[in-house]
Amino acid sequence: MLTSSTSGSQVSQTMEEVRNRLREIVGASTNWRDHVQAMNERKALHTLLAKNQADLPPRKMRDSYIEVILPLGSQPEIREKYLNVHNSVRFGRILEDLDSLGVLICYTHTKHEAGQMSPLSIVTALVDKIGLWKQDIRPDCDIKFVGNVSWVGRTSMEVKMHMLQFHDGAYHPVLDATFVMVARDPENKRPAFVNPLILESPEEEKIFKEGEANKTRRVDSSRASLLKMAPTAEERNIVHDIFLNTLDPRTVSFRSRLLPPTAVWMEDAKLKGLEICHPQERNIFNRIFGGFLMRKAYELGWACAYSYGNSRPYVVAVDDIMFQKPVEIGSLLLLSAQVCYTEKNNAQVRVHSEVYDPATRVHHTTNVFHFTFMLENEIPSIVPRTYGESMLYLDGKRHFDSAMKENIAP
Ligand SMILES: CCCCCCCCCC(=O)SCCNC(=O)CCNC(=O)[C@H](O)C(C)(C)COP(=O)(O)OP(=O)(O)OC[C@H]1O[C@@H](n2cnc3c(N)ncnc32)[C@H](O)[C@@H]1OP(=O)(O)O
């Protein structure tokens, strides 16, 4: 994390100011009826796009460093929006704030000297990981977010953000987050170059190398995806052991399956939801705001874990949320949460979201979300019955192990 001493002259701003600033930077319409005209005005900014990355001035990490205050302690009137029934902070709201902040950090990195409005449309491509250090976030103490661009490709940027909360006279860490944002042209149709990054110290070189390693890891894990490759020998053994454990000893049949005691079939651990994507949830580019999708998916995932385990779930880690396709305003968004792996009192929940067009009956996956929850009480083991469910189970185990191994969980 860059510290304030290396952060130049950045002054803390509030989350409300972050959103207003984003609207100014892209010239977003305030009224939905003006959105076509606002988009037409943005098209003209096309001429400001760089033809090559080398034409753009390089930036330092501290150039994009931002501090934002969420004044839950000093401005009680904003608490309501953030409050959950347990008198703690709604994590879904924090996901929304991280998304807005990540985008502003990238606009600060790519700041166009010529004018106020940016020709770039910066979208969230991936939430690489979020690790939480605290189970409960207090609703009555100020929160501070800090972050900066930590790695740059040709058209993509990795952003590292940290959230801290003020209590007992100091700010204490709450979570660390890594997002990947992609720059597109003003109409969000083609990729656009972003400013290169200059590294100023061995510490920054290390952070940048981690960004490179993260990119390689993402490519490797995408290649080894169970949707493309067979499971490893060790994983095949796990699946076969589960299969053997569920055979009925009284019959000599591959089809007669019995649920072990204190276990639940995977098909019985789902929760589904529908969202109609109204203009209120639009982002600055008149698509559905990524943070809104994350909040809705998180809350359904949380409810799924709660229904499954019958005690309060605490989020421990979020990883690998890929935004595969933008969600248009007016879409019918179908969300489906599934407990796909369990270990002791931990549940790994996958939320799949897709848009459905009733006119054509075509479905398109827009996102897949992975959440790791720890529940207050012991939970039943989840048991896959079909081959497809077994792959979901192994994928859930991979996400769970990665969350634990990287020590992003407490
Ligand atoms: C009003 C107040 C509120 C303000 C809030 C503002 C927040 C606004 C932010 C948002 O809400 S954005 C909405 C949520 N996100 C989306 O809807 C994005 C949906 N996904 C897409 O549009 C495309 O999948 C995406 C543009 C992300 C990628 O498209 P492509 O797969 O065609 O990309 P391409 O192959 O051209 O690669 C472009 C770059 O992206 C990188 N990339 C693509 N997918 C990636 C991925 N999954 N992970 C990491 N990097 C990725 C890729 O490596 C490359 O980087 P480099 O040029 O640096 O090499």
Helix axes 290-309, 91-109, angle to 10 degrees: 150
The identity of residue 92, as a single letter, is: G
Structure tokens at 173: 């860490």
Q: Which atom of ligand 1 is nearest to the CA of 326?
A: 17
- Indicate which residue's Cα is closest to atom 45 of ligand 1: 125
DSSP 61-127: GGGG-EEEEE-TTT-GGGHHHHB-TTSSB-HHHHHHHHHHHHHHHHHHHT--TT-SS-S-EEEEEEE
What is the pLDDT at residue 407? Answer: 52
Q: Which atom of ligand 1 is nearest to the CA of 293?
A: 14
Segment 240-244 shows an average pLDDT of: 95
Interatomic CA distance for residues 217 and 222, integer angstroms: 8
Q: Which atom of ligand 1 is nearest to the CA of 285?
A: 8
Residue among 8, 39, 2 nearest 284 (CA) = 39
**Of the listed ranges 23-27, 138-142, 243-247, 366-370, the one predicted with least confidence:** 23-27
Q: Which atom of ligand 1 is nearest to the CA of 157?
A: 58
pLDDT, the chain, mean: 90
Q: Can you give the pTM of this predicted structure?
A: 0.92
Gyration radius from the chain CA atoms: 22
The identity of residue 102, as a single letter, is: G
Interatomic CA distance for residues 241 and 394, integer angstroms: 13
C-alpha 326 – ligand 1 centre gap (Å): 9
Backbone angles phi, psi at 50, to 5 degrees: -75, 145
Q: Where are the alpha helices (DSSP H) in 110-232?
A: 202-223
C-alpha 121 – ligand 1 centre gap (Å): 10
Instruction: Report which secondary-structure segment, H or E, holds 145.
Output: strand 143-152
C-alpha 33 – ligand 1 centre gap (Å): 26
C-alpha 392 – ligand 1 centre gap (Å): 25
DSSP type of residue 27 = T
Tally DSSP H helices, then E strands, for the chain: 8, 15
C-alpha 125 – ligand 1 centre gap (Å): 3
What is the pLDDT at residue 114? Answer: 66
Please report the ipTM that was assigned to this predicted complex. Answer: 0.95
C-alpha 95 – ligand 1 centre gap (Å): 17
Question: Does residue 130 have a pLDDT over 60?
Answer: yes
C-alpha 277 – ligand 1 centre gap (Å): 20
C-alpha 88 – ligand 1 centre gap (Å): 32
Segment 236-250 shows an average pLDDT of: 92
Q: Which atom of ligand 1 is nearest to the CA of 282?
A: 1
DSSP type of residue 273 = E
- Indicate which residue's Cα is closest to atom 21 of ligand 1: 325
- Indicate which residue's Cα is closest to atom 55 of ligand 1: 156
Segment 32-61 shows an average pLDDT of: 85
Q: Which residues of 277-297 are buried (b: 16+ CB within 10 A; e: fewer)?
A: beeebbbbbbbbbbbbbbbbb
In the numeric block, the tokens 């998180």 are attached to: 298
- Indicate which residue's Cα is closest to atom 31 of ligand 1: 324
C-alpha 124 – ligand 1 centre gap (Å): 5
Interatomic CA distance for residues 388 and 153, integer angstroms: 35
Cα angle: 39, vertex 292, 320; to 5 degrees: 105
196 and 149 Cβ atoms separated by less than 8 Å: no
Q: Which residues, judged by CB distance below 6 Å to any ligand atom, belong to the binding site of ligand 1?
A: 19, 22-23, 28, 99-100, 103, 123-126, 153-156, 180, 182, 184, 191, 218, 283-284, 287, 289-290, 322-326
Give the number of C-alpha atoms closer than 13 A to the C-alpha of residue 364, restricted to the C-beta side: 13
In the numeric block, the tokens 């769970």 are attached to: 400
What is the pLDDT at residue 156? Answer: 97
Q: Which of 182, 323, 353 to mutate to test the pocket of ligand 1 (most atoms within 8 A of CB)?
A: 182
Q: Which atom of ligand 1 is nearest to the CA of 194?
A: 58
Residue among 227, 364, 353 nearest 301 (CA) = 353
- Indicate which residue's Cα is closest to atom 52 of ligand 1: 156
C-alpha 123 – ligand 1 centre gap (Å): 5
Interatomic CA distance for residues 92 and 374, integer angstroms: 16
Where residue 212 falls among pLDDT bands split at 50, 70, 90?
Answer: very high
Segment 310-314 shows an average pLDDT of: 95
Q: Which atom of ligand 1 is nearest to the CA of 99?
A: 7
- Indicate which residue's Cα is closest to atom 37 of ligand 1: 191
C-alpha 404 – ligand 1 centre gap (Å): 27
Interatomic CA distance for residues 176 and 132, integer angstroms: 7
How far from chain centre, in Å, is Cα 364? 19
Q: How confident is the model over 2-37, as pLDDT tens digits?
A: 433 334 445 568 888 999 999 888 876 677 777 777
C-alpha 181 – ligand 1 centre gap (Å): 6
Exposed, middle or buried by CB within 10 Å (0-12, 13-18, 19+), for 31? exposed
What is the pLDDT at residue 79? Answer: 92
What is the pLDDT at residue 248? Answer: 83
In the numeric block, the tokens 């454990």 are attached to: 245
Residue among 211, 206, 198, 181 nearest 101 (CA) = 181
Q: How confident is the model over 73-118, as pLDDT tens digits?
A: 988 899 999 999 999 999 999 999 999 999 999 999 999 776 678 9
What is the pLDDT at residue 115? Answer: 67
